[in-house]
A and B are shown apart, each in its own frame.
Chain A
Amino acid sequence: MSSGEFTAPAGIDGAASDAAPTPRQGRTFAGHVPGEVGVWVLILGDMTVFALFFGVFMHYRDHAPALFRHSQATLNQTFGAVNTLLLLTSSLFVVLGVSAVRKRMRTVAPKLFLLALCCGLAFSVIKVLEYSAKARHGIGLNTNDFYMYYFILTGIHFFHLIIGMGVLVFLWRLSLKPDVGTKQIQYLEAGASYWHMVDLLWIVLFPLIYLVK
């Protein structure tokens, strides 16, 4: 884990695959897996479950299209759109942050992760505003089927985002370290992949719940 192990600043893809660790046991992987193979068990597994959530949502939507359409019209699409932009921006910051660490730009990298974290915080503030506006109008989990899915699906996503912010804090602390070895790069990529998943899930969730007519 000494700095000597970390051969070259791996900015380009070819060098990045040098940084890929050799799996400790079993088969060897020819290509570069971002982070490590294990994190994809979590990410793909989680995305499968969200796919199931979305399927269930579509199924119940088919049973009461008018109710879903009417209730959907009451959602604040501006909040949803701003949140989409915030998450996309935060993902960009994370990408830049990881490559800054690779290029050993030690002053820039932590700032980029903090900016990504700020986007996550802004998303949270908007989410809380959105939920409390609904609560003020007396709309809750049990109002009807649409709101049930709205609250639960966005709520579970929000929960993922909060954990993701913890991950970003971890990435930020990693980027502050003077020595970055292959292990650290691996953690950075794994954490970044998780954050991109949070972003990706929202990109599906937003049109599905807020927009699709």
Chain B
Amino acid sequence: MNRKAQMVCLWSAPAFMIVFLIGFLIAGLLPPPSPHSSAIKIAHFYANHTNAIRLGLLVMLLAGAMSVPFNCLIGVHLKRIEGRSHVLAYTVVAMGAVNCILICMPVMIMTAAAFRPLRDPNLTQTLNDLAWIPFVMVFPPAVIQNLCIAFATFTDGSRKPVFPRWVAYFNLWCSFLFLPAGLLTFFKTGPFAWNGLLSFWVALTVFGSWYFVMFYALREAIKSQAADEAAGAEPATERVVPPVTAVPQHA
């Protein structure tokens, strides 16, 4: 096990959250613009704070990619649970990649909206819709991740499970809470609109708390993996690795 690399991946999660939040605030996207706003109002928003929006979005784009190492770290620890078949780990990693795209794509569409803010307001509004709808409605890959983590944790038969079982239940809870975001397609006002209490604020809170919980769970998992490897016999891979890596390194 490469503990240092794992720790870097672990800490990429809070880095992602903080950088993303900073970008969000710089761009002035918090609270989100109402889906009920007129085209003129939306165009004004992009025209008046153009450079702040561009800068904020650039920072968010940087953050977007930082979510990937953390998702891969989850995959690595699911692999430990799964033993020989790694389907759940691969699914989590793949969904992590999809999530990254789903975060970056709306950011880039908003960048396009802020690129020529003086165009026809209806076009800017269309771009704004095109960005905000996927941005808030991205729940399915996250739900699949939640279910994979829960399923792996429930089936962890080892004496020292990688994740405690409440982590599985917590993930199920998160998956429930991501679902209302899907309702934003029906509404322009109220709690289920894309800036509403239940589809935006609750989902955002759950998203944040999921990162906190998984950060804690993974930190413990890394610790116990290190303890296991220090206490038990040297894992076979570690003994094999030096001669194998030595060849390509010096070749």
Contacts and interface: CB of A to CB of B under 8 A. Distances in A.
Nearest to B161: A24
A52 B191 CA distance: 11
Contacts of A39: 169
**Among the interface residues B161, B165, B198, which one has the most CB atoms of the partner chain A within 10 A?**
B165
A148 B166 contact: no
A25 B197 CA distance: 37
B3 to A, nearest CB: 21
Interface residues of B, number: 24
B183 A36 contact: no
A49 B164 CA distance: 23
B216 interface: no
A45 B202 contact: no
B192 A49 contact: no
Interface residues of A, number: 24
Contact of A156 (B170, B180, B187): B180
Interface string B167-179: 1111011001101
A38 to B, nearest CB: 3
A28 interface: no
Contact of B165 (A38, A145, A159): A38
Contact of B202 (A52, A145, A148): A52
Contact of B197 (A24, A38, A40, A56): A56
A209 to B, nearest CB: 15
A46 B173 CA distance: 7
A95 B172 CA distance: 24
Interface string A136-154: 0000011001001000100
Interface in B166-224: 166-170, 172-173, 176-177, 179-180, 183, 186-187, 190-192, 197-198, 202
Contacts of B172: 42
A60 interface: yes
Given A49-B176, A52-B198, A56-B197, A152 B192 contact: yes
Interface string B49-78: 000000000000000000000000000000
Nearest to A155: B183
A38 B166 contact: yes
A148 B187 contact: yes
B173 A142 contact: no
A142 B170 contact: no
A53 B196 CA distance: 12
B185 to A, nearest CB: 10
A12 interface: no
**Among the interface residues B179, B187, B191, which one has the most CB atoms of the partner chain A within 10 A?**
B191
Contacts of A46: 173, 176
A41 B166 contact: yes
A37 interface: yes
The 8 closest A-B pairs by CB, nearest first: A38-B166, A42-B169, A38-B165, A45-B173, A38-B169, A41-B169, A42-B173, A41-B166
Interface of A: 24-25, 36-42, 45-46, 49, 52-53, 56, 60, 141-142, 145, 148, 152, 156, 159-160
Given A42-B172, A42-B173, A152-B183, 16 more contacts: A24-B164, A25-B164, A37-B166, A38-B165, A41-B166, A41-B169, A41-B170, A42-B170, A45-B170, A49-B202, A52-B202, A56-B198, A60-B190, A141-B186, A148-B192, A152-B192
